[in-house]
Amino acid sequence: MNFLEERILKDGIVKEGNVLKVDSFLNHQMDINLFKQMGEEFKRRFADKNINKIMTIEASGIGIACVVASYFDVPVVFAKKSQSINIDGDVYVAEVESFTHKNKNQVIVSKRFLGPEDHVLIIDDFLANGCALQGLISIVAQAGGTVEGIGIAVEKGFQSGGRMIRNLGYQLESLAIVESMDAATGNVKFRDQSEVE
């Protein structure tokens, strides 16, 4: 079991409806030392990739992305939800459905910050049905850039997002893949990734 799986067992809370609360260390309160461990691990897993930019989506991906970025020594660009008056009209747009908030958002990235020269590592905290990730991949494609890899903290392995992204040929690395969880007992089962690597 790796450091993130151990932390999930220690501090994660399983709720009814396959909800895994990791808000004490990942996406509300944020444990920066844990994020540093994640940065080291992603750096190891993507060591052979030539990455010049990290991309994420607001809000909870930003913290992880910024700490991870310091291990790659590259800037972060985060996709913004909905149009802001401070963003030029010249933007890439993707439509993203949110499971958590039960709504649809346009996410946008200024064309000034993504182009054909960019080799992008996408970072996010959660992967479930993969809608946010599809939007980010679409934006990199619109820019003519290259997705070199995708680094996720927690993947819900029983939802289809991860399988679909891997089927498309992307190197998707999730530090913890939850296979099942049980709100009654609080049990969380992780996918054994030792055979995958």
**Which tokens belong to 167?**
């089927």
Q: Which two tokens stand for residue 68?
A: 């991870």
Least distance between a second copy and beta carbon 27 (Å): 8
CA 50 to chain centre: 19
| 128 in a known ligand binding site | yes
Nearer to a second copy, 2 or 100 (CB): 100
Tell whether 153 is in a known binding site.
no
DSSP letter for 113, please. Answer: G
Contact positions with a second copy (CB under 8 A) in 75-94: 75-78, 80, 84-87
Residues 7-36 that bind a second copy (CB under 8 A): 19, 21, 23-25, 28-33, 35-36
Could you give the CA distance from residue 46 to residue 91 in angstroms, rounded to a whole number? 28
State the nearest-atom distance from the C-beta of 148 to a second copy, in Å: 18
* Residue 1 within binding range of a second copy, rule CB under 8 A: no
DSSP 3-state of 180: strand
Q: Which residue number, 28 or 189, has a Cβ lying nearer to a second copy? A: 28
Q: How far is the CB of 1 from a second copy (least distance, A)?
A: 23
Tokens of 106: 């346009």
Closest of 65, 89, 90 to residue 78, by C-alpha: 65
Contact yes or no for 94/65 (Cβ under 8 A): no
- On whether 132 is known to bind a ligand per the annotation, the reply is yes
Q: Does 2 bind a second copy (CB under 8 A)?
A: no
Q: Are 47 and 72 in contact (CB under 8 A)?
A: no
CA 77 to chain CA centroid, nearest Å: 13
**130 marked among binding-site residues:** yes
Radius of gyration of the chain (CA): 16
66 a known binding residue?
no
Strand partners, 81: 107
Residues making up the annotated binding site for 5-phospho-alpha-D-ribose 1-diphosphate are 128-132
Instruction: State the residues that interact with a second copy by CB under 8 A.
Output: 19, 21, 23-25, 28-33, 35-36, 58-60, 62-67, 69-70, 73-78, 80, 84-87, 100-102, 109-110, 112-113
Residues making up the annotated binding site for xanthine are 20, 27, 156
